[in-house]
Structure 1
Amino acid sequence: MSSSSAIFLIILGIVVAQRAGNIVRQVSKGILPNDAIGTILTFSLVKLMPMMLSLAIFLAVLLTLTRWHKDSEMVIWMTAGLSLRQWVVPILRFIFPIVLIISLLSLFVMPWATEKADSYREQLKKRDELSSISPGAFKESSNGERIYFIESFDKLGYEVKNIFVQSRQNGKTGIITANRGSRYKAENGDNFLVMQHGRRYEIIPNTLDVSTTEFERYDIRVETKENTPEASTSQAKSTLALMAGAALADQAELHWRVAIPISTIIMVLLAIPLSFVDPRAGRSLNIMFAILIFIIYNNVLSIFQAWITQGKISAWVGLWPVHVCFILLGWYLYHRRKYLKPLIPEMFKRKAKKGHP
């Protein structure tokens, strides 16, 4: 359990760094507001939690048994008259609660997180233009008539400092600068940016006419985005709704959710024969081979899911051919280990050794 917890924390750290970097990149470009980072990151982690747990438990079993092979403890196990298949029952007992958690996350929590994330993104799209401005970056309005620049925010974004606004109206270009400002909402629901102690320059294009006006207070109405609500995706629908739905996309998504815990069980059982290493050789080749099988398994599942959505495969067939193929692969690997045959042919090992001094 300690090994699986440590591996899960490592995977979680990698995913958090990758997802956080992507979200921060969107914030820097003005696609997302600053205060949305934590919420979107949390929903993303919840959606990826079943796959992270699946990978963590697979690597935990694989690395533990690989270490036992390397330390010749498995030799003692075999000498005592015990076969490799007798590892199946204790490992299934160990992974049962984790697979149960993965099933609950995949069938119920993951669609809930997807629906909440989509709903939150829709709310962000309806927020006013100032909500997506990053301090120190220029931001163009949705209609292209204004360009904003704000040096810094205070008090949760309702007070701003060093403001620059360029607008175009009636064939004239206006530039407004102010030392500070604030935001407020009128009784009718309109949002305004109040600028204090600043100047307004009005320029007529292709002329030298420039008029300057100093002001104590200047109010600018901030446009609120109007977006038509998007239709709910299959990923955001509940499992019960998918079972009642007749669309191919719904059936494909249902097969995918069921496939996550099933693939976890199959891959953990595959980790038993894949963990064998030759004590005279390094164990990195077997680990790379096992991870490659895990990646291929999940990618083939994704391909079959897309084929179901496109109608190339019947929904009654689903993803079961993929599971059956990897079950047969597991039987083949157990058969080779029964007769003490290497899982990776010797010619591949010789080629791998040639690449090292």
Structure 2
Amino acid sequence: MFLIERYILTEVRRLTIIIVCFLVFMFACFSAQRYLTDAANGTLALEVVFNVVCYKVLIALEMLLPVGLYVAVSVALGQMYTDSEITAILAAGSSPMRIYRAILVLAIPLGILVTFISLYGRPWAYGQIYQLEQQSQSELDVSHLQANKFNTNSDGRMVLATKIDATHNHLTDALIYTSSPNKTSIYKAGSVDVIDPSPQHPAVMLHNGTGYVLDRSGQDDRKMVYHNLRVTLKPVVQSLDVRRKAASVAQLARSSDSADYAELQWRESRGLSTLLMVLLAIPLSRTRPRQGRFATLLPLTILFAAIFYGSNICRTLIANGSIPGVPGMWSVPLIMLFGLLALLASEFSLLKKKSR
């Protein structure tokens, strides 16, 4: 590789590594705080928090890697423009395409990696997260429940007990609340034994207590006094949106649902959008000498926000059937491509005028 390309690539690569590591650290801290709060509330087992955070970081790499390279390119080239290094390179007779070539050496492999993460890594990680969350929230593993505290899950089930014996799966002086579209059930028991902790059919045996089954229509309310009562609780069911995020590419391709098609196009377009976004940062990073390397961050930030929110809005409109599936999500990369070509044409026409 030529000296100029190697110099530019070294600066951009160093900044990319620093920025991505910082973003990953901040995102991991934010995710850990969120899931540790769930663990403290008894809605998630503490031992699965680390795994969930790791999977969340893998999902976030789909966005953090492009952002890191995008910011690194803008800052590194902005500094080189401020120090007149780019001016010296062009004055020596080098073509501006050498800058693009240096950035492409890093942008193309990263775009391929983002595509792989979006197509395969992201749905796999979502599947692992939802499996861990559903298992932790559905199965009656009392080891993560806390005494004298309302322990809830995402499906509205609540368990309260004064004493918890995790060794024997036994609760003392317990209150269990469950709800469904048709009825609400409340059980007060002197003691509770978990007889089936499986996520598919979680069941408990209640001893010496009172139960209330409230019909939402108000026609079949019941009260019962029991000595021994077996109750099968409702497992947590994944929502359609959850299953879509965890679905494989093959499953989405076979589906006729517009929301599945939008999700598929989103995954397929991530790599190309990354590449075009990074290339757009090159002409937009141009600054005047002594202007400062951060002078272009505002337009670059606006561009990134437009690409990010535009892609999300486009995906939502495709899922709702408001816009057709063709070009669908590919309309955003097409607009980015036309914008890049316009900037390139303007840049080269300006260079021709200066050379006369």
Q: Indicate the residue corresponding to 2:58 in structure 1.
A: 46
Structure 2 residue 295 is the aligned partner of structure 1 residue 288: no
Cα gap change, 1:339 to 1:226, in 2 (>3 Å): same
Separation (CA, whole Å) in 2 of partners of 1:187 and 1:70: 64
TM-score normalized by structure 1? Answer: 0.72
Which of 289, 302, 307 is the aligned partner of 1:279? 289
Between the two proteins, the alignment pairs up a number of residues equal to 308
Separation (CA, whole Å) in 2 of partners of 1:143 and 1:22: 19
Structure 2 residue 314 is the aligned partner of structure 1 residue 301: no
Post-superposition CA distance 1:24-52 (Å, at most 9, x none): 22223332222221122122112222111
CA contact (8 A) 2:138 2:236 kept: no
Post-superposition CA distance 1:288-307 (Å, at most 9, x none): 32122112201101111111
5+ residue gaps, structure 2: 1-12, 177-186, 209-227, 352-356
1:149, CA displacement in angstroms?
Answer: 4.5
5+ residue gaps, structure 1: 177-182, 194-199, 201-219, 342-357
Structure 2 residue 37 is the aligned partner of structure 1 residue 25: yes
Separation (CA, whole Å) in 2 of partners of 1:95 and 1:145: 49
* Larger-Rg structure: 1
Separation (CA, whole Å) in 1 of partners of 2:121 and 2:83: 41
Which of 324, 329, 336 is the aligned partner of 2:334? 324
Cα gap change, 1:61 to 1:184, in 2 (>3 Å): same
Aligned pairs for 1:43-192 (under 5 A) are 43-128=55-140, 130-134=142-146, 137-139=149-151, 147-149=160-162, 158=167, 165-167=173-175
Query: What is the SS of the residue equivalent to 2:161?
Result: strand
CA contact (8 A) 1:128 1:222 kept: no
Structure 2 residue 254 is the aligned partner of structure 1 residue 244: yes
1:187, CA displacement in angstroms?
Answer: 12
1:104, CA displacement in angstroms?
Answer: 1.1
Q: Which moved more, 1:24-33 or 1:3-12?
A: 24-33
Separation (CA, whole Å) in 1 of partners of 2:102 and 2:279: 11
Cα gap change, 1:185 to 1:85, in 2 (>3 Å): same
Separation (CA, whole Å) in 2 of partners of 1:319 and 1:245: 17
Cα gap change, 1:150 to 1:276, in 2 (>3 Å): farther
Query: What is the SS of the residue equivalent to 1:329?
Result: helix
RMSD: 4.0
Cα gap change, 1:298 to 1:11, in 2 (>3 Å): same
Which of 248, 254, 278 is the aligned partner of 1:268? 278
CA contact (8 A) 1:248 1:310 kept: yes
Post-superposition CA distance 1:246-271 (Å, at most 9, x none): 21111101110011101100011011
